[in-house]
């Protein structure tokens, strides 16, 4: 049983694709080793049967970063020499950098997955050293110098999303419920807790009282947001976290959220229209490039947070729900952008890349 090493950061955007690939490769008879920093031990249950190997790393802006990354390269190199993996695959995030550099030094077959339309800083450090670059979306900025190594695989998705692939979109009916889902992580929830409730309370009476709202809020914001909706007689379910978010996305007529790679890929897979508000301080403004994939295809709307005024959002929502068939069209356009079988395509790439341990690729 040959070994494949996966290296990923600790956020969902890095974790979920690695989890999906690990499951597929395990089914194909590969042994999985997840090599990353100590924080990742908390996610071991996401990788049943995998070995978790700890490697030091550090955020790039830390004073100690050069020393920790250098130590991580040395430790990862020693582990890779012992393991002799058939391939080493990186998923971005700073914990992946020492591992991918060590794999290059050890002359192991290597690839990275870039989940965003703009190549992230960690992947930029290693993309010209690895043999293949799998891309979730067409790369808009910072492509590797050798464009021939880029393969569009799509973004591997967790099973609960794949179960909802192309779920039929139910057009809002006259006088029927209008279901809106609002989420965006802790940073997204902060901005949306201020603007979205105020905009929804200003909607015309007939539309406002058809709303069924699901909104992610920070714990400290829930009571104040709940009171706003209660005063406006808007049906709302609020929580800091929804474990069944893919199903709630499928149930929604409209999503309002950030435009991280995972969110955009899931909107495409399920096929839902969205108002996307890119995180304004995301590295290299990569969330804007992600959002533009949907907006440019007529699958949603991209609004900068600096432009997201109360009046703008109110008028957008009135216009959006005045044309239910346009929502259906945008849902269809979103799904048309999805790359099917992304996990299998990435696993196929890994297996093409993999060679017998100790043999040069």
Token output for 299: 């699958």
pLDDT of residue 9: 82
Q: Residue 67: inside a domain, yes or no?
A: yes
In a shared domain, residues 32 and 149: yes
pLDDT of residue 186: 56
In a shared domain, residues 346 and 264: no
Can you name the residues that pair with 300 across neighbouring β-strands? 274
Residue 358, judged by CB atoms within 10 A of its CB (0-12, 13-18, 19+), counts as: exposed
In a shared domain, residues 136 and 184: no
pLDDT of residue 94: 93
Query: Residues with Cβ < 8 Å from 195, sequence gap 6 or more?
Result: 308, 309, 310, 313
Q: How many domains does the chain have?
A: 2
**Reported pTM:** 0.92
Residue span of the structural domain in which 20 resides: 3-155+340-353
In a shared domain, residues 344 and 256: no
Map tokens 């339309």 to a residue: 117
Q: Residue 47: inside a domain, yes or no?
A: yes
Residues of the chain with pLDDT under 70: 40-42, 185-188, 355-361
Distance from C-alpha of 203 to C-alpha of 93, rounded to nearest angstrom:
41
Q: Any idea what the CATH number is for the domain that residue 258 is in?
A: 3.40.50.2000
Crossing angle of helices 310-321 and 185-201, in 10° steps, is 70
In this structure, what DSSP letter does residue 141 have?
B
In a shared domain, residues 92 and 233: no
In a shared domain, residues 31 and 138: yes
pLDDT of residue 215: 97
Q: Residue 327: inside a domain, yes or no?
A: yes
3-class SS of residue 56: coil
């Amino acid at each position: 049983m040959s070994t494949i090493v996966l290296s990923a950061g600790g956020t969902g955007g890095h974790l979920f694709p690695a989890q999906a690939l690990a499951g597929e490769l395990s089914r194909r008879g590969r042994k999985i080793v997840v090599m990353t920093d100590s924080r990742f031990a908390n996610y071991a249950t996401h990788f049943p049967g995998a070995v978790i190997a700890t490697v030091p790393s550090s955020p790039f802006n830390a004073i100690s970063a050069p020393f920790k990354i250098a130590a991580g390269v040395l430790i990862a190199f020693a582990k890779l020499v012992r393991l002799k993996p058939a391939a080493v695959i990186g998923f971005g995030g700073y914990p992946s950098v020492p591992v991918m550099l060590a794999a290059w030094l050890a002359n192991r077959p290597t690839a990275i997955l870039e989940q965003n339309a703009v190549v992230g800083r960690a992947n930029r450090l290693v993309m010209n050293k690895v043999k293949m670059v799998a891309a979730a979306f067409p790369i808009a900025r910072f492509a590797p110098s050798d464009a021939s190594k880029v393969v569009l695989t799509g973004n591997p998705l967790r099973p609960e999303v794949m179960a909802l692939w192309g779920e039929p979109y139910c057009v809002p009916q006259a006088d029927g419920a209008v279901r809106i889902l609002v989420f965006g992580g802790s940073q997204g929830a902060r901005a949306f807790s201020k603007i979205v409730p105020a905009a929804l309370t200003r909607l015309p009476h007939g539309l406002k009282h058809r709303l069924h709202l699901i909104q992610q809020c920070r714990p400290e914001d829930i009571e104040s947001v709940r009171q706003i909706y209660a005063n406006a007689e808007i049906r709302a379910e609020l929580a800091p976290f929804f474990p069944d978010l893919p199903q709630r996305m499928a149930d929604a007529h409209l999503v309002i959220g950030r435009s991280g790679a995972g969110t955009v890929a899931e909107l495409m897979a399920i096929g839902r229209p969205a108002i996307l508000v890119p995180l304004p301080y995301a590295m290299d403004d990569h969330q804007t490039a992600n959002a533009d994939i949907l907006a440019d295809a007529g699958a949603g709307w991209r609004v900068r947070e600096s432009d997201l005024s109360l009046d703008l959002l109110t008028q957008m929502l009135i216009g959006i729900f005045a044309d239910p068939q346009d929502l259906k069209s945008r849902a269809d356009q979103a799904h048309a952008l999805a790359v099917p079988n992304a996990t299998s395509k990435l696993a196929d790439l890994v297996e093409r890349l993999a060679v017998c341990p100790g043999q040069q690729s």
